[in-house]
């Protein structure tokens, strides 16, 4: 996005990537259909030490601008849920569109102009130095490049097998910027100790409300062979910190203050109703998959069957504290939280405040989207912001 935007303004751009293929993350994103934006994108959908920073760039390039671009290329899309837009066919169409926008930059300049984008793949071992005078000198296995401006768009540490590296953080530190410790986000959580028993339920999914760091998400939770995942947990994982609890409400469809009779265990409270483990399992099976209902009933089974004991059991089922040992790490994280400190960047252009001509955009920056197309919208918007300024 940045290269195409700059190229279409008449700038001469070299786009270096150490992979042999551009946009590998786009290709596998959204299960191969790329959740390329979200209709409800706002700064509240992002984590950052400075929650206001992303606003400027996001306001300059809106989801509808990307939707228009996608429309011009005839790429069919649909809204899956919660404003999340996916390609009807393959994510490849998005990569091809971006490449075509880079080619178009050249065509828009006509014969005599110099603008356009040169794609340089397999550019390994990148090293950057400030050029004498001004600008930058970039050495790589694909040659040496000199430029007035340098935009670092090399992403975060998530999924190294797709080519993720910490180059952006190294360059930020080299040029005197602070880096907020990168950590895996949108990532499954690992359970151990007594909670390892949960993994016996691997494959079971249920709608829950998962809460971490004071933020909660009502979506599906999936039990895995190592712990818990699914959208609710992935979302909460971005706010979870080691040592903290993940709190799960197994009946989010009921009001927090549901009355006793209308509560999760209401059936056991009816006059003459059975009050035993079988009745508890049955009540939970009304709202949860059978294996999960049975497991919770046995794990949460009250000491006795008095109203007070049922109250305590119900409270536990609505605030079930899990104690994750950790995350599944950058190998499995959809995104990297933390990154180049926004304090060192100008919000409208993403240029660093201390090194003129040096920009950081996308996931490399300490702006991390929630699940649902927000990370791409940030990548597009921040790329365009820098592309208009270089």
Ligand X SMILES: Cc1cc2nc3c(=O)[nH]c(=O)nc-3n(C[C@H](O)[C@H](O)[C@H](O)COP(=O)(O)OP(=O)(O)OC[C@H]3O[C@@H](n4cnc5c(N)ncnc54)[C@H](O)[C@@H]3O)c2cc1C
Which residues sit at the interface with ligand X, rule CB under 6 A?
17-19, 24-25, 28-30, 34-35, 123, 126, 153-155, 158-159, 163-165, 167, 334-335, 362-364, 373-376, 379
**Token reading at 252:** 């989010």
Tell me how far, at minimum, the Cβ of 297 lies from ligand X, in Å.
Answer: 35
From CA 174, how far away is CA 325, in angstroms rounded? Answer: 34
Closer residue to ligand X (CB): 15 or 288: 15
Which one, 292 or 335, has the nearer CB to ligand X?
335
As measured in angstroms, the least distance from the Cβ of 231 to ligand X is 12
Q: Which of 62, 61, 94 is nearest to 77 (CA)?
A: 94
Taking the complex as a whole, the smallest distance from the CB of residue 248 to ligand X amounts, in Å, to: 24
Report the sign of the C-alpha dihedral through residues 304, 310, 314, 319, in that order. negative
Structure tokens at 146: 């000199």
Distance CA 347, CA 352 (A): 9
Any residues with CB less than 8 A from the CB of 281 and at least 6 apart, and which? 293, 294, 297
In the complex, what is the shortest distance from the CB of residue 243 to ligand X, in angstroms, rounded to a whole number?
26
Residue whose structure tokens are 């994982």: 237
Q: Which is nearer to ligand X, 119 or 131 (CB)?
A: 119
Judged by beta carbon, residue 118 or residue 195, the one nearer ligand X is 118
Least distance from ligand X to the Cβ atom of residue 82, Å: 13
Distance CA 368, CA 257 (A): 33
The H or E element containing residue 15 is strand 12-16
Q: How far is the CB of 32 from ligand X (least distance, A)?
A: 9
Closest to ligand X by CB, 3 or 208: 3
- Cβ 35 to ligand X shortest distance, Å: 3
- 87 or 310, CB closer to ligand X? 87
Q: Could you tell me how many helices (H) and strands (E) the chain has, helices first?
A: 12, 21
CA distance linking residue 156 with residue 211, whole number of Å: 25
Least separation in angstroms between CB 17 and ligand X? 5
Is 163 or 326 the residue whose CB approaches ligand X more closely?
163
How many whole angstroms separate alpha carbon 237 and alpha carbon 229?
9
Least distance (Å) between residue 354 CB and ligand X = 22
Neighbours of 56 (CB within 10 A): 17
Placement of tokens 């509240």 in the chain: 44
Neighbour-count burial for 293-317, b at 16+ CB within 10 Å, e otherwise = bbbbbeebebeebeeeebeebbeeb
Minimum CB–partner distance for residue 337 and ligand X (Å): 11
Task: Determine contact, residues 177/359, Cβ cutoff 8 Å.
Answer: no
Q: Which residue is nearest to ligand X (CB)?
A: 362
> What angle do helix axes 277-285 and 290-300 make, rounded to 10 degrees?
140
Query: For tokens 């062979």, what's the residue?
Result: 225
Provide the 10 A C-beta neighbour count for residue 169. Answer: 24
Residue placing its CB nearer to ligand X in the complex, 103 or 287: 103
Residue number with CB closer to ligand X (126 or 358): 126
At residue 240, the 3 state secondary structure works out as: coil
Closer Cβ to ligand X, 162 or 196, answer by number = 162
φ, ψ dihedrals at 255, nearest 5°: -55, 150
358-360 vs 150-152, strand pairing mode = parallel
């Amino acid at each position: 996005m940045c290269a195409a935007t700059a190229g279409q303004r008449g700038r001469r751009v070299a786009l270096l990537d150490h992979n042999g293929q551009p946009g590998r993350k786009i290709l596998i994103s959204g299960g191969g259909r790329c959740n390329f934006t979200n209709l409800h994108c706002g700064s509240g959908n992002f984590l950052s030490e400075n929650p206001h920073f992303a606003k400027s760039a996001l306001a300059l390039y809106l989801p509808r601008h990307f939707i228009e671009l996608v429309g011009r290329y005839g790429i069919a899309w649909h809204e899956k849920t919660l404003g999340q837009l996916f390609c009807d066919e393959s994510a490849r169409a998005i990569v091809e569109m971006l490449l075509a926008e880079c080619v178009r930059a050249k065509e828009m300049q006509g014969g005599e102009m110099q603008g356009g984008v040169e794609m340089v793949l397999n550019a390994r071992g990148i090293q950057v130095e400030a050029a004498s005078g001004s600008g930058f000198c970039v050495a790589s296995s694909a040659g040496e490049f000199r430029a007035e401006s340098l935009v670092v768009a090399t992403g975060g540490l998530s999924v190294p097998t797709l080519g993720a590296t910490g180059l952006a953080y190294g360059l930020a530190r080299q040029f005197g910027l602070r880096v907020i410790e990168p950590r895996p986000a949108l990532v499954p959580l690992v359970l151990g100790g007594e909670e390892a028993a949960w993994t016996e339920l691997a494959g079971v999914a249920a709608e829950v409300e998962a809460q971490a760091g004071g933020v909660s998400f009502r979506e599906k939770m999936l039990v895995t062979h190592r712990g818990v995942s699914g959208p609710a947990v992935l979302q909460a994982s971005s706010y979870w910190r080691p040592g903290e609890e993940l709190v799960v409400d197994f009946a989010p469809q009921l009001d927090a203050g549901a009355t006793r009779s209308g509560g999760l265990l209401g059936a056991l409270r009816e006059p003459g109703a059975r009050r035993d483990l079988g009745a508890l399992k049955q009540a939970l099976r009304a709202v949860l998959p059978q294996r999960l209902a049975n497991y919770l009933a046995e794990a949460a089974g009250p000491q006795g069957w008095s109203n007070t004991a049922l109250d305590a059991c119900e409270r536990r089922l609505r605030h079930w504290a899990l104690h994750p040992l950790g995350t599944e790490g950058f190998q499995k994280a959809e995104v990297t939280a933390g990154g180049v400190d926004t304090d060192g960047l100008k919000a409208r252009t993403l240029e660093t405040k201390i090194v003129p001509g040096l920009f950081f955009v996308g996931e490399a920056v300490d702006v991390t989207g929630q699940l649902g197309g927000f990370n791409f919208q940030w990548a597009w918007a921040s790329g365009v912001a820098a592309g208009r300024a270089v």
